[in-house]
Structure formats: C-alpha cells, structure tokens
Amino acid sequence: MTIKAGDRIRIHYKGTHADGGDTFDSSYDRGEPLEFTAGGPELIAGVTEAVIGMGVGEKKSVEVPPEQGYGTRDERMIIRDVPKDQLPEGSDIGTMLSLGIPPSEENPAGGELHVTLTGFDGENAVLDGNHPLAGKTLIFELEIIEIVDAA
C-alpha cells in the first residue's frame, strides 16, 4: 500500500543542511516518529509531498529548496531599531525572543513575532524575524513507519 494525499502517517526523519551536512533536527534522536497528514499543511511542502507514493518501510532522501522549505530570506524581517535596554536581561547574540505585535490592518489579531538576536548597531539591537532555516536548501532522510489512517 502506497501513501496518498490525505493519509495520516508516521515517519522517522533526519534533516541536514545541504551545504555542510550538519543535522538540525532528527526524530531518531528523540526516539519518536513524527505523525502528520501526507500532502497537508502541517509540515513544509518539501517533506509532506515527498512521502506521497512511498510505502511502509521505504526510505528516501529528498533535497528541499527554500521555496518548499522555510521560505526565502526576507530582508524586511530584519529589525534594526530596538533599544538594547528593551531586551530581556541576559539576551545574547543567537538568543530567540518573542515580540508582541500590536493589531494592525494587515493583522487585526496582533500576536507574537519570533526573532533571533543577530547583533548590535550602536545602542540598538538587530533582530531577524526570518525562520532560522529560511533561505537554506535542506536534505531530509525519510523513513515511513506506518500509515495510521488511510484517506
């Protein structure tokens, strides 16, 4: 039985950077397969679409370009004018922070923006709102564990 769009499945995976092979995430390391709907919106398109047509026990390596992964980098997501004294105490370069976003016409609910502190420009912090894997080509090693619920 092969996986089709809409099937609920469980997989093991390992994600590495295409430019260096460093692992950034692995379900094997956690000892718990990932469950999701094939072809669904829960994961990046490069993974959720790659499993379609595979069978239980099958393994596959797939290269995922930024457009099918975490998107391309958007320089508009760089915030350069946050005073250092507004950062949480102990914040250092590489720290992930959450900023409150006030409601606006484009986003009436407001919410949170997750950013990474990337440096300082004088008395201001430089924050990056891009996903840490944005703009990167990734390699995923996929292993189908089971079809939980066929569509």
The answer, yes or no, to whether residue 36 has pLDDT greater than 90, is yes
Question: If phi over 0 gives left and psi between -120 and 50 gives alpha, with beta otherwise, what is residue 27?
Answer: alpha
> Both 66 and 83 in a single domain?
no
- Neighbour tally for 61: CB within 10 Å: 11
What pLDDT shows up at residue 105?
74
Give dist(CA 67, CA 35) in Å, integer.
Answer: 23
Residue 96 domain flag: yes
CATH code for position 50? 3.10.50.40
Please report whether residue 3 resides in a domain: no
- Cα 77 to Cα 128: distance, rounded to the nearest angstrom: 6
Give residue 114's pLDDT: 83
Whether 96 has a pLDDT exceeding 90, the answer reads: no
Domain hosting residue 88, numbered range: 75-128
Residue 29 in any domain: the answer is: yes
- Condensed to tens digits (0 to 9), the pLDDT of residues 131-150 reads 999 999 999 999 999 999 99
H or E element in which residue 87 lies: none
φ and ψ at residue 5, rounded to 5 degrees = -55, 135
Write the pLDDT tens digit of every residue in 1-24: 899 999 999 999 999 999 988 999
Residue 135 contacts by C-beta under 8 Å, 6 or more apart in sequence? 66, 70, 71, 72, 73
Does 58 share its domain with 33? yes
Same domain, 143 and 94: no
Per the structure, how many domains does the chain have?
2
Does the structure show a pLDDT above 80 at 123?
yes
